[in-house]
Amino acid sequence: MRITFLGASRTVTGSSYLLEAGGRKFLVDCGMFQGSKATEALNWRPFAYDPTSLDCVLLTHAHIDHTGMVPRLCKSGFKGKIYATRATASLCRIMLPDSAHIQEFEAEINNRKGRRAGKGLIEPLYTVDDAYKSLEQFAPMPYGEKLEILPGVTVRFNDAGHILGSSIIEIWAEEGDKTEKLVFSGDLGQPDQPLIKDPTYIDEADYIIMESTYGNRKHEHFNRQDLLAEIINDTVQRGGNVVIPAFAVGRTQTIVYYLHQLLKAGKIPDLPIYIDSPLAISATDIFIQSPEDYDAEAREMVKRADNPLKLPQLIFTRTAEESKRINQREGSAIILSASGMADAGRILHHLKHNLWRPESSILLVGYQSPGSLGRRLTEGIKRVKIMGEDISVKAKIYNLDGFSAHADQDQLVNWLAHLQKPPANIFLVHGEAEMSEAFAVIIKEKFGFPAYIPRLGDAAALEGREFRIEPSSLVFVDPAVQKLQDIWDLIEADFAEFKKRIEQVLATGNGQIAIAARALEKLRKVLRDTMEAIGSGGGK
């Protein structure tokens, strides 16, 4: 059998793997690349296979970086079934049309600019209509049951503890007289997260395709509730707001759960809590309607008519008008809004109104990709540009990856420790290259298992315990090149602003000239050092 790595290889987004076995062809995940312009350009490439030739698609969970290309796949002629857990299918019903809205909106903005520049019109990646049509192909799957979905292909979905409906997928594929077992970890959650069940342990597999988002990190293991209470109380005392950029699906509901507990225990004051994201509001509804997927503790609460996601303090703001009014009010509030990496959406308004206020706090509670505003805040940036406005960063910034929906290095190791026999290989995916590489070393040290980090477009031919890598036949941008391009884009954007300011200083000739000259001299040195480090470009 053969597996081709079509996304999330030496990077985090765009999860998608093509499997070919016994004449069958199917995908695990069909995700969107997210992040910088160079990364998102990958979504526009033609599919690396003929969509009409696929037999089916399996989805590990609803996040857009695992599902976001499904409407485009269906629009391109894929007619088969899309297997996902019931909750994943429900969440896709709101997330795919939401993603389509964003695509339509972006195309409209580009077309407005394009028209002024005399360019032709571009189509969105897919439309809301395409998204709704693709939903008709979904087939809900139960957890924990082995089902033959294609002749010779049997699968089982298991809890992954990442978000509601998330799954680890076991696949038994027959080829000739041999059966190979593959396990896709999907995104693995941290054990003992509120609301959802813990990740399932798998006892054996021939090949594992495993995430490594935090392969080189250990979360700080504090008491999450106490820490949250401390930050909230501290901020209220200063008279500021607590602003939480949170992924609409998953992180938002987890934080609401903690706030529920803290309010019940009287550990935080009675504050308004705004859920300012239409997608998060719809997702919270789906969570409320899915108590069968909760863990035992949350199910108990529901039995006592105390749903952990229902709170009198919660204020859901659907319209843009309601959203704007949040920033006109006096007194402290907790504001949860998307996007989780703070680079788009309504959260930008709340950051604009709070980042400059020393009395406010910003809590980053999830994965922040390189270059995103969230990542730059965790790195201590002092000035940011939001919607064309310069904002100085005075608020307290907290980077709390202990709240992450992803397992850390120890938890990933612990998941592997439950294997009863060594796999033939572990393919490490869904991690920045440094993370995956460090985790491969840990796997070899701790277990002696072989681990391989595929590049985008690589294929692996699996023959029993042997596998052979067929290097990418597709012309993909190397992620390292992409990263350099991303950094360069950021520098270029900053540089335009920099030039403008220098020109202002020169024009006014005020007392800042000496400061600017000193800074410019430093910059010249950095540029020289960089050139020296890169060498003459001859390549070593």
Q: Closer to Zn ion by CB, 63 or 350: give it.
A: 63
Region of 148-156, 183-191, 515-523, 524-532 interacting with Zn ion (CB under 5 A): 183-191
Which of 162, 169, 185 is CA-nearest to residue 430? 185
* 29 binding Zn ion? (CB under 5 A): no
CA 293, 294, 296, 298 dihedral sign is negative
Instruction: Please give the torsion angle defined by the CA atoms of residues 5, 150, 140 and 166, in that order, rounded to the nearest 10 degrees.
Output: -30
Instruction: Please give the torsion angle defined by the CA atoms of residues 114, 65, 252 and 317, in that order, rounded to the nearest 10 degrees.
Output: 30
Q: Closer to Zn ion by CB, 189 or 371: give it.
A: 189
Q: Closer to Zn ion by CB, 11 or 317: give it.
A: 11
Question: Measured between alpha carbons, how far is residue 173 from residues 28, 35, 100, 142, 361 in Å?
Answer: 13, 34, 34, 19, 51
Which of 59, 86, 60 is CA-nearest to residue 71? 59
Residue nearest to Zn ion (CB): 63
Q: Closer to Zn ion by CB, 66 or 483: give it.
A: 66
Which of 299, 272, 275 is CA-nearest to residue 288? 299
* 406 binding Zn ion? (CB under 5 A): no
Q: Closer to Zn ion by CB, 11 or 241: give it.
A: 11
Count residues near Zn ion (CB under 5 A).
2
User: Rounded to the nearest whole angstrom, what is the least distance from the CB of residue 407 to Zn ion in the complex?
Assistant: 12
Q: Closer to Zn ion by CB, 213 or 472: give it.
A: 213
Spatial distance between the Cα atoms of 447 and 424, rounded to a whole number of angstroms: 12
Instruction: Please give the torsion angle defined by the CA atoms of residues 342, 248, 301 and 335, in that order, rounded to the nearest 10 degrees.
Output: 40
Q: Which residues pair with residue 266 across a beta bridge?
A: none
User: Rounded to the nearest whole angstrom, what is the least distance from the CB of residue 476 to Zn ion in the complex?
Assistant: 22
* 430 binding Zn ion? (CB under 5 A): no
Cβ neighbors of 226 (< 8 A, separation 6 or more) are: none
User: Rounded to the nearest whole angstrom, what is the least distance from the CB of residue 430 to Zn ion in the complex?
Assistant: 9
Phi, psi of 21 (to 5 degrees): -155, 135
User: Rounded to the nearest whole angstrom, what is the least distance from the CB of residue 166 to Zn ion in the complex?
Assistant: 7
DSSP state of 205: -
User: Rounded to the nearest whole angstrom, what is the least distance from the CB of residue 217 to Zn ion in the complex?
Assistant: 17
Q: Closer to Zn ion by CB, 170 or 187: give it.
A: 187
* 211 binding Zn ion? (CB under 5 A): no
User: Rounded to the nearest whole angstrom, what is the least distance from the CB of residue 198 to Zn ion in the complex?
Assistant: 16
User: Rounded to the nearest whole angstrom, what is the least distance from the CB of residue 497 to Zn ion in the complex?
Assistant: 34
Find out whether 342 and 251 touch, Cβ atoms under 8 Å: no
User: Rounded to the nearest whole angstrom, what is the least distance from the CB of residue 181 to Zn ion in the complex?
Assistant: 24
* 159 binding Zn ion? (CB under 5 A): no
The interface mask with Zn ion, positions 38-77, x = CB under 5 A, is -------------------------x--------------
Region of 179-187, 355-363, 488-496, 521-529 interacting with Zn ion (CB under 5 A): 179-187
Instruction: Please give the torsion angle defined by the CA atoms of residues 429, 431, 432 and 433, in that order, rounded to the nearest 10 degrees.
Output: -40
Q: Closer to Zn ion by CB, 63 or 349: give it.
A: 63
User: Rounded to the nearest whole angstrom, what is the least distance from the CB of residue 31 to Zn ion in the complex?
Assistant: 9
Near Zn ion by CB under 5 A: residue from 187, 206, 401, 486? 187
Instruction: Please give the torsion angle defined by the CA atoms of residues 380, 382, 386 and 388, in that order, rounded to the nearest 10 degrees.
Output: -140
Find out whether 201 and 9 touch, Cβ atoms under 8 Å: no
Residues that bind Zn ion (CB under 5 A): 63, 187
